[in-house]
Structure 1
Amino acid sequence: LDRHWRNARTAASHNPLIYKARIVGDWRINGTEPPFVWQIGSGTGKA
């Protein structure tokens, strides 16, 4: 459970409020769709 909360906190801190505000503002003013991201990082390599 501790690892889950550490990962959640890290994920939240890597998407600061200023970026969220910019994405929402771009959507409201320009109609640009927000990026759709399911995970952090790139999963192109084989595990």
Structure 2
Amino acid sequence: MEARFTQEGVEVRDSKNPGGPKLGFTNSEWDAFLGGVALGEFTGA
């Protein structure tokens, strides 16, 4: 995965398929995601 920060927010893409689609997130959406990672919300348990 690759993430690129822009003025509008963050774009994420599959680094194995750089010509493929990108997902776009606002800064607040990205901050919420990072907060969830820090709290362990994505452990799959």
TM norm structure 1:
0.35
Higher helix share: 1
Q: Choose 1 or 2 for highest CA Rg.
A: 1
